[in-house]
Structure 1
Amino acid sequence: MNRDERGLRLRQGKCLHLYKYFLHPRFGFLNARIQTWFPFNVQICMNGREWLARQLAREGRSDFKRADNCFPWLGDPALAQRRMDAQLTTDWPRTLNAIARSLNPRHTAIFKPRPMDYYWSAYQTEWATDVMFKDPRTLAGIYPALVRHAMHHFRSPDVMRFLGRKAHGNFTGEIVTSFKDRPEGVRVKHWVRGNSVKMYDKAGSVLRVETTVARTQDFKVLRPSHKDPEGPLDWKPLRKGVADLHRRTEVSQRSNERYLEALATVEDTTPCSRIFDAVAKPVLEGKRRSRPLRIGDPADLAVLQAVARGEFATAGFRNRDLRLLLHPASAKADAAEQRRVSAKVGRQLRLLRAHGLIRKVQKTHRYVLTSKGHLLTAALWATRDANLKKLVA
Structure 2
Amino acid sequence: MNGHNLLAHKLDKKQITYRMHDNAFLEISDTETAQKLSDRINPEDLHKILDVFAKRYSPVPGSLGLGYTWTVQQIECATDVMFQKPEYLEPLYDEIIRTAIFTVKPDNIATFLGQRITYNCIKEIGTNYNQRILGTRIKHHMGDVSIKMYDKFGHVLRIESTCNDIGTFRVEREVNHQDGSSSVQKAPLKKSIYSLYQLFTIMKSANYRYLEFISSFDDHSSGRKKLAEVSRPQKEKERKYLITALGKEIIAAGLTENNLILVPALTS
Q: 2:217 aligned to 266, 284, 305, which one?
A: 266
Residue 190 (structure 1) shift: 1.5
Alignment-mate amino acid for residue 50 of structure 1: N
Q: Give 1:78's match in structure 2, choosing from 17, 32, 35.
A: 32
Answer whether contact 1:160 1:188 (CA < 8 A) is retained. yes
Contact in 1 for aligned 2:149/2:157 (Cα 8 Å): yes
* Deviation of the 1:245 alpha carbon: 1.8
CA contact (8 A) 2:41 2:196 kept: no
Kindly provide the CA deviation profile for residues 76-120 of structure 1, in whole angstroms up to 9, marking residues without a partner as x: 0011111111134543332222222232133323xx1xx221111
The residue correspondences of 1:14-25 to structure 2 (distance < 5 A) are none
Aligned counterpart, 1:159:
129
User: What residue is the counterpart of 2:255 in the other structure?
Assistant: none
Whichever of the two has the greater Rg, that structure is: 2
Q: 1:255 aligns with which of 206, 230, 237?
A: 206
C-alpha contact (below 8 Å) 2:92/2:219 kept by paired residues = no
Count of residues in correspondence between the two structures: 202
Give the match for residue 260 of structure 2. none
Alignment of 1:204 onto 2:135: no
How far off its partner does 1:189 sit?
A: 0.9
Q: What is the deviation of 1:231?
A: 5.4
1:126 aligns with 2:76: yes
Amino acid at match of 2:139: K
CA distance in 2, matches of 1:392, 1:224: 65
C-alpha change, 1:262 and 1:128, in structure 2 (3 Å) is same
Aligned CA distance change for structure 1 residues 268 and 205 (closer, same or farther; 3 Å) = closer
For 1:48, the equivalent position in structure 2 comes to: 3
**Cα distance in 2, alignment partners of residues 245 and 212 from structure 1:** 14
Where does 1:220-231 land on structure 2 (aligned, <5 Å)? 220-227=170-177
- Give, in whole Å, the separation in 1 of the partners of 2:140 and 2:90: 22
| Residue aligned with 1:233, SS | strand
The CA deviation at 1:222 is: 2.4
For residue 116 of structure 1, what is the amino acid of its counterpart?
Answer: L
Q: Which amino acid in the other structure matches residue 216 of structure 1?
A: I
Q: Report the counterpart of residue 238 of structure 2 in structure 1.
A: none
Contact 2:20 2:27 in 1 (8 A): yes
**Structure with a larger share of its residues in helix:** 1
Q: Does 1:215 align with 2:171?
A: no
TM-score, length-scaled by structure 1: 0.47
- Post-superposition Cα deviations, 1:350-393, rounded to whole Å, max 9, x if no partner, equal xxxxxxxxxxxxxxxxxxxxxxxxxxxxxxxxxxxxxxxxx979
Q: Structure 1 unaligned segments of length 5 or more: list them.
A: 1-45, 165-184, 270-390
Q: Structure 1 residues 77 and 247 mapped into 2: Cα distance closer, same or farther (>3 Å)?
A: same
Report the alpha carbon displacement of residue 221 of structure 1 after superposing the two structures with TM.
2.0
Q: Is the 8 A contact 2:95 2:219 kept in 1?
A: no
**In the alignment, is residue 188 of structure 1 matched against residue 142 of structure 2?**
no
SS at match of 2:20: strand
Q: Which residue of 2 aligns with 1:100?
A: 54
Write out per-residue CA displacement over residues 40-76 of structure 1, whole angstroms, 9 at most, x where no aligned residue: xxxxxx1111101111123333x21001111111100
User: What CA deviation, in whole Å up to 9, does each residue of 1:116-166 have, x standing for no partner?
Assistant: 2111111101000111112111101201011111211126632122234xx
- What CA distance in whole angstroms lies between the structure 2 residues aligned with 1:162 and 1:236? 39
Q: State the SS of the aligned residue for 1:116.
A: coil
Tell me the residue number matched to 2:266. none
Q: Which runs of 4+ in 1 moved over 6 A?
A: none
Structure 2 vs 1, CA of residues 224 and 56 (structure 1 numbering), >3 Å: closer, same or farther?
same
Kept in 2, the 8 Å contact 1:221–1:244? The answer is: no
Kindly indicate whether the alpha-carbon contact (under 8 Å) linking 1:197 and 1:211 is maintained by their aligned counterparts in 2: yes
> Which of 56, 61, 69 pairs up with 2:23?
69
Name 1:37's counterpart in structure 2: none
Structure 1 pair 199/116, CA: closer, same or farther in 2 (3 Å)? same
2:68 is paired with a residue whose SS is coil
Letter of the 1:82 counterpart:
K
Q: Are 1:221 and 1:247, in contact at CA under 8 Å, matched by a contact in 2?
A: no
SS of aligned partner of 2:176? coil
Task: Decide whether aligned partners of structure 1 residues 148 and 94 sit closer, same or farther in structure 2, where only a CA change above 3 A counts.
Answer: same
Q: CA 1:74/1:192 → structure 2, altered by over 3 Å: closer, same or farther?
A: same
Percent identical residues:
31
Contact kept in structure 2, 1:216 and 1:240, CA below 8 Å: yes
Counterparts in 2 of 1:241 and 1:229: CA distance versus 1, 3 Å = farther
Question: What SS does structure 2 have at the residue aligned with 1:122?
Answer: coil
Q: Higher strand proportion, which one?
A: 2
* RMSD (Å) for aligned C-alpha atoms: 2.6
Please, which of 82, 91, 95 is the counterpart of residue 141 of structure 1? Answer: 91
Q: Which amino acid aligns with 1:159?
A: Y
